[in-house]
């Protein structure tokens, strides 16, 4: 068990389990994007650790960029998504947007809106985690590492009010004893 701020979290996925998932995603993407020199766009801050491991397992030519969006406060989405660091020039490029986790999908829908105007050659979405019970958007997430239940998680890039991103494992919010 670990504590971050006022909340307790219990182990959910080991570092080995995460790495297996990441390696398998990298292999799938490498096959799909052979000879295409894609640009991976990491959504900061959450995706930094996933994207780092993903690209260390992606052995073909590729480039990397980042955008920064913000929607979460504490343990729930605010619904409003703000852009804090904008996209680079992406004309005629194969783009793969990389998220740590898709929850409501508000962030991705906002990103998709912005990218539709940028004359890309192709666009795909890749997320390490998806909460299918919450996700209710039409936008297809092309590459999903793992579907997980609707519980708040931290670690491996994911935070609770800033803490927990440096943990190499994933932890799940522990319910209060009388819940
Ligand atoms: P969405 O816009 O609701 O899909 O949420 C997107 C962002 O909220 C993700 O990229 C994460 O940064 C954050 N987020 C969503 N679920 C969790 C969670 O369980 N733990 C930590 N952050 C989360
Ligand atoms: Mg994120």
- The reported pLDDT for the residue numbered 75 is 72
What proportion of the chain, given as a percentage, has pLDDT over 90?
A: 85
> Which atom of ligand 1 is nearest the CA belonging to 43?
10
Point out which residues pair with 72 in neighbouring strands: 77
Mean pLDDT for the stretch of residues 7-34: 98
For all residues of the chain together, what is the average pLDDT?
94
Cα separation, 60 vs 66, whole angstroms:
19
Cα separation, 31 vs 148, whole angstroms:
25
Q: Give the pLDDT confidence of 64-94 residue by residue, as tens digits.
A: 999 998 776 667 766 788 888 888 999 999 9
Mutate to test the pocket of ligand 1, among 72, 97, 165 (most ligand atoms within 8 A of CB): 72
The finding on whether 153 has its CB within 6 A of some atom of ligand 1 is yes
Mean pLDDT for the stretch of residues 159-173: 98
- Among the residue ranges 28-32, 70-74, 97-101, 154-158, the one predicted with the least confidence is 70-74
- The reported pLDDT for the residue numbered 72 is 61
Note residues around ion ligand 2 (Cβ under 5 angstroms): 43, 46, 100
- The reported pLDDT for the residue numbered 82 is 82
- Among the residue ranges 10-19, 30-39, 84-93, the one predicted with the least confidence is 84-93
Q: What are the Cα distances from residue 60, in Å, to 33, 50, 51, 126, 144? A: 9, 18, 15, 17, 20
Query: Does 179 score more than 80 pLDDT?
Result: no
Q: Identify the CA nearest to 169 among candidates 6, 68, 21, 5.
A: 21
Give burial (CB, 10 Å; 0-12/13-18/19+) of 12.
middle
Q: Can you give the length of the chain in residues?
A: 179
- The reported pLDDT for the residue numbered 11 is 98
Q: What is the pTM of this model?
A: 0.94
> Which atom of ligand 1 is nearest the CA belonging to 103?
4
Nearest CA to ligand 1 atom 19: 152
Query: Does 10 score more than 60 pLDDT?
Result: yes
Main-chain phi, psi angles of 62, to 5 degrees? -165, 165
Query: Does 178 score more than 60 pLDDT?
Result: no
Q: For Cα atoms 56, 60, 65, give the angle at the middle one, nearest 5 degrees.
A: 65
The finding on whether 72 has its CB within 6 A of some atom of ligand 1 is yes
């Amino acid at each position: 068990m670990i504590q971050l701020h006022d909340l307790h979290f219990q182990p959910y996925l080991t570092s080995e389990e995460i790495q297996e998932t990441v390696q398998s995603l990298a292999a799938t993407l490498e096959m799909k994007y052979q000879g295409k020199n894609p640009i991976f766009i990491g959504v900061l801050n959450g995706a930094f650790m996933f994207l780092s491991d993903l690209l260390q397992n992606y052995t073909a030519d590729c480039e990397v960029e980042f955008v920064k969006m913000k929607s979460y406060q504490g343990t729930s989405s605010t619904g409003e998504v703000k852009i804090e660091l904008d996209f680079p020039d992406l004309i005629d490029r194969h783009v793969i947007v990389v998220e740590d986790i898709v929850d409501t999908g508000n962030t991705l829908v906002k990103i998709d809106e912005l990218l539709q105007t940028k004359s890309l050659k192709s666009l795909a979405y890749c997320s390490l985690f998806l909460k299918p019970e919450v996700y209710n958007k039409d936008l297809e997430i092309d590459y999903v590492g793992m579907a997980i239940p609707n519980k708040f998680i931290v670690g491996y890039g994911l935070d609770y009010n800033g803490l927990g991103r440096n943990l190499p494992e994933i932890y799940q919010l522990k319910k209060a004893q009388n819940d």
